[in-house]
Structure 1
Amino acid sequence: MSTQILFQVQLVLGYLAWLLCFRAYGLPWLSSMDRVAALRAIATLHSFRFFGLVFLLPGVVGPDLPAGFAVFAAYGDFATGVLAMLALLTVRVRPLFWTLVVAFNVTGMVDLVVDYYHAIQAGLPEHAEQLGATYAIPIIYVPLLMITHIAAFWFLLRPRQSVA
């Protein structure tokens, strides 16, 4: 099986596995909480996106990892992680919290979509071995991030539940 096909199959299966897991466990758990608590849980997950800076470390990724992909992905993840941490720090200042929740989700989702675009433009699936130790990030971590961004927007946009 070619590197491109193997990478694409694993990426699709990463999304499928996380969707099944999220539908069975994540969404019911988050839905049992109030919106603030659910969005704090999602922000906590995304606060670890500083890890994306690893795409810039020589020796961790291959020397031929396309710079057009690596640089944007690294700094987009870093920005999203910082915004998520700021949201967590400002949970008691609700207007600022809501602004930062929207900001980290918009930034994070745009980052992931643009990363997919850059990856396709740079031919990353054909050279996925250049991801080196970071190979698991797009296969395992990114699908979960995208799914939780979608969930965050769902929690942000759904009407408030009235307390009986």
Structure 2
Amino acid sequence: MSPAIIFQLHLVLGYVPWLLCFGAYIWPKLKSMDQVSAQRAIATLHSFRFFGLVFIVPGVVGPNLPAGFATPAAYGDFATGLLAILALLTAKTRPLFWLFTIAFHLVGASDIIIDYYHGTQLDLPALAGQLGATYAIPIIYVPLLMITHVAAFYLLLRSQSQTARPLAADAAASTDA
């Protein structure tokens, strides 16, 4: 099997164990938590994304890792990590907490999607060996990050719809009276 095919298999299969683990252990816990606690738990995981700057450290990655992939991946992760840290630091100031929480989810999910796009455009699978020590990041860490962004968006939207239902019922009741 070629290294490119192995890398592509790794990318796809990286989601399988995380989805199984997430569904069995993490998701039930997140759903049982209040909205702020669940988002803080997810933000804690994402606060380590400053580590993505490693994509631009010479010697850690190969010299032929395309800058068109490495630079946006590094700074997208860094921005997401900082926003997640700001969300954690502002947990007691709810408007700021929600602002930073939504921001880190939007920036973080966009970063991953953009990285997948750049990786495809630049044929990263053929250059996977240039990832060097960072090879495990897209295979092991990124799937969990993306899964938690999707879960967080679901929790945010669920919260909004649950808030809207009582308001709609109140509005309907007041027009009936």
1:44 matched to 2:73? The reply is no
Counterparts of 1:1-164 in structure 2, within 5 Å, are: 1-159=1-159, 160=162
TM-score (norm 1): 0.96
SS of residue matched to 1:49: helix
Structure 2 spans left out of the alignment, 5+ residues: 164-177
Normalising to structure 2: TM-score of the pair? 0.89
Which runs of no fewer than 5 residues in structure 1 stay unpaired?
A: none
Taking the aligned partners of 1:5 and 1:24, their CA distance within structure 2 comes to: 29
Q: What is the number of equivalent residue pairs in this alignment?
A: 162
Aligned-partner Cα distance in 1 for 2:95–2:56: 35
Measured after TM superposition, the shift of residue 149 of structure 1 is 0.3
Specify the SS of the correspondent of 1:158: helix
**Which structure: greater helix fraction?**
2
| Larger gyration radius, structure 1 or structure 2 | 2
**1:10 & 1:69 partners in 2: Cα distance?**
18
SS of alignment partner, residue 115 of structure 2: helix
For residues 130-155 of structure 1, what are the alpha-carbon distances to aligned partners after superposition, in whole Å with 9 as ceiling and x for unaligned? 00000000000000000000011011
CA distance in 2, matches of 1:101, 1:150: 13
Runs of 4+ in 1 over 4 A off after TM superposition: none
Q: Distance in 1 between matches of 2:3 and 2:52?
A: 22
CA distance in 2, matches of 1:3, 1:67: 20
The root-mean-square deviation of aligned C-alpha atoms, in Å, is 1.2
